[in-house]
């Protein structure tokens, strides 16, 4: 069942997703060669709690941390660890969730550690642009498939792979609500988008084959060919005047500008 949100509920979702954006900005300020992903997770947890929220991922289906931190060939759901030390040229996808005032925030951003190579930078850029292409289709009267097709067409025009095994989702009092929002599909198909729906769009895009494997830790998803993958995620409300993005990448990009 798809829960439609009132304007007031959308503002609570915006508060959560702004806190997620601010948390990602704070984490982004600490990303540098030598930092462990465990340290970044602690920074995020402290920041979220200091702002009166709780980390939405911690304990979710037994997940052991506040962030998912996925390095290079890891696509999503990498578990922060004191053994994972970031190094110059790594790419790191960080997914963050908050819970406060009865609602959830959920957004992700892919960062450079120092400077990545030209090929990886392009993958990051195209993945973010694919998210924007999908977001532009998030309007009442369209269908989920319009978002999916926009993400897929744009991504594949660069020869990149769209991961099939995971998808975006509705967002509200629960982190994962209906409808599912795949990153591939056909225009005009799938559930109808209506005013008051809030969804997360989250392309997971690979430089090589789209095929992924699930690691033994029960969480980490990585590319089968071990080529890099990027992941960006927005929460978007469908409003009378079109898509209303509840996440603010501007805060993150301001924080990491050098
Ligand atoms: N942000 C992820 C998603 O969009 C959820 C993280 S899974 C968790 O589906 F277990 F880490 F919470
Ligand atoms: Co999500």
Q: What's phi and psi for 70, nearest 5 deg?
A: -120, 115
Ligand closest to 96 (CA) is: 1
- What's the gap in Å between 170 CA and the centre of ligand 2? 8
| Beta-carbon contacts of residue 242 (< 8 Å; ≥ 6 apart) | 138, 139
Residue of 124, 123, 149 lying closest to 138 (CA atoms): 149
pLDDT of 150 over the 90 cut:
yes
**Dist. CA 202–CA 93, nearest whole Å:** 12
**Dist. CA 74–CA 231, nearest whole Å:** 10
Structure tokens that stand for 219 in this block: 């969480």
Question: So what's the pLDDT on residue 197?
Answer: 98
Residue 60 DSSP symbol: G
Query: What are the distances in angstroms from CA 190 to CA 133, 167, 200?
Result: 18, 14, 16
Spatial contact of 124 and 49, defined as CB atoms under 8 Å apart:
no
| Beta-carbon contacts of residue 46 (< 8 Å; ≥ 6 apart) | none
- Probe ligand 1: pick from 23, 76, 105, 233, max atoms within 8 Å of CB? 76
Q: Ligand 1 — pocket residues by CB below 6 A? A: 57, 60-61, 63, 68, 77, 95, 97, 106, 200, 202
Per residue in 5-43, pLDDT (tens digit) is 999 999 999 999 999 999 999 999 999 999 999 999 999
Per residue in 151-192, pLDDT (tens digit) is 999 999 999 999 999 999 999 999 999 999 999 999 999 999
**Dist. CA 156–CA 137, nearest whole Å:** 17
Question: So what's the pLDDT on residue 126?
Answer: 99
**Dist. CA 130–CA 188, nearest whole Å:** 18
Per residue in 208-247, pLDDT (tens digit) is 999 999 999 999 999 999 999 999 999 999 999 999 999 9
Query: Which residues, chain by chain, have CB under 5 Å from ion ligand 2?
Result: 106, 200
Does this model's pTM top 0.95? yes
Per residue in 50-95, pLDDT (tens digit) is 999 999 999 999 999 999 999 999 999 999 999 999 999 999 999 9
């Amino acid at each position: 069942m798809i829960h439609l949100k009132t304007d007031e509920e959308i503002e609570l979702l915006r508060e959560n997703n702004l806190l997620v954006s601010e948390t990602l900005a704070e984490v982004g300020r600490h990303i540098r060669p030598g930092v462990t992903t465990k340290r970044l997770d602690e920074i995020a947890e402290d920041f979220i709690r200091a702002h009166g929220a709780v980390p939405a991922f911690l304990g979710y289906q037994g997940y052991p941390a506040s962030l998912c931190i996925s390095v290079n060939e890891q696509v999503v759901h990498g578990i922060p660890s004191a053994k994972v030390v970031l190094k110059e040229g790594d790419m790191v996808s960080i997914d963050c969730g908050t819970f406060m005032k009865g609602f959830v925030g959920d957004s992700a951003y892919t960062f450079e550690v120092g400077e990545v190579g030209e090929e990886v930078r392009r993958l990051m850029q195209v993945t973010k642009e694919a998210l924007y292409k999908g977001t532009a289709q998030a309007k009442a009267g369209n269908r989920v498939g319009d978002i999916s097709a926009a993400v897929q067409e744009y991504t594949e025009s660069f020869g990149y792979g769209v991961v099939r095994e995971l998808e975006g989702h509705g967002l509200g009092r629960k982190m994962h609500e209906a409808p599912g929002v795949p990153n591939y599909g056909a225009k005009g198909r799938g559930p109808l988008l209506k005013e008051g729906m809030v969804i997360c769009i989250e392309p997971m895009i690979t430089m090589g084959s789209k095929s992924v494997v699930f690691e033994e830790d029960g969480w980490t998803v990585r590319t089968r060919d071990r080529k890099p993958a990027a992941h960006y995620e927005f929460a978007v409300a469908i409003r009378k005047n079109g898509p209303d993005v509840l996440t603010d990448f501007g805060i993150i990009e301001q924080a990491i500008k050098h």
